[in-house]
């Protein structure tokens, strides 16, 4: 890590900010923040760091929920971030496609990260971070040129096992709050 504050933190959503579900998060009622995640976003906002989300949402492709429902879920997320920590999400990129669609946005492809970079006019380099819980998140970060970090929440424990088996030197934290607290402390 360098000694500059990051310019951009991109977060995966399910398993990083909120609890994940094998049956998908299909409504605002099902969206529940992981303790400390909203506070972590508030810490980034207070430090002047742009925050974005890049999230695969194949539940749309699978007809489990609509774009309107997804918008409502994200409105709940944005409202809670603001109310709990005065935090702000500057952009949300979604991929509504299925796993077999040949799109450039679905992680592990880096399309959503490039979209965030373009929308916020911030380059993806070693001073931009992508924090995820799955190996696909790590791959998307590496393909985009930003720095990958992982958390043990969500699919994180399986991801940690894979990272160790591949001998990948990716920092992994217990949760988003620990990752952000460490990142801000190290880069002061």
Instruction: Give the C-alpha separation, 27 to 158, whole Å.
Output: 26
| Residue 101 is among the residues annotated as catalytic for this protein | no
**Cα distances (angstroms) measured from residue 125 to each of 8, 69, 113, 130, 138:** 10, 33, 11, 11, 14
Task: Say how far apart CA 54 and CA 162 lie, in whole Å.
Answer: 22
Known catalytic membership, residue 14:
yes
Q: Any alpha helices (H) in the chain, and if so which ranges?
A: 37-46, 67-85, 111-120, 135-144, 156-165, 176-186
Catalytic residues: 12, 14
């Amino acid at each position: 890590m360098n000694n500059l504050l990051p310019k951009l933190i991109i977060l995966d959503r399910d398993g990083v900010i909120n609890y994940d579900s094998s049956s998908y998060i299909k409504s605002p009622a099902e969206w529940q923040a992981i303790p400390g995640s909203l506070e972590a976003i508030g810490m980034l906002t207070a430090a002047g760091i742009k925050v974005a989300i890049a999230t695969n949402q194949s539940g749309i492709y699978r007809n489990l929920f609509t774009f309107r429902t997804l918008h409502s879920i994200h409105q709940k997320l944005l409202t809670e971030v603001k109310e709990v920590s005065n935090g702000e999400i500057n952009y949300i990129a979604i991929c509504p496609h299925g796993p077999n669609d040949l799109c450039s946005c679905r992680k592990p492809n880096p399309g959503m990260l490039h979209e965030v970079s373009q929308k916020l006019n911030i380059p993806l380099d070693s001073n931009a971070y992508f924090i995820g819980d799955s190996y696909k998140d790590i791959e998307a970060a590496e393909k985009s040129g930003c720095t990958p970090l992982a958390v043990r929440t969500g699919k994180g424990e399986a991801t940690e096992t894979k990272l160790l088996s591949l001998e990948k030197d990716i920092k992994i934290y217990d949760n988003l709050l620990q990752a952000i607290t460490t990142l801000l402390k190290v880069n002061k």
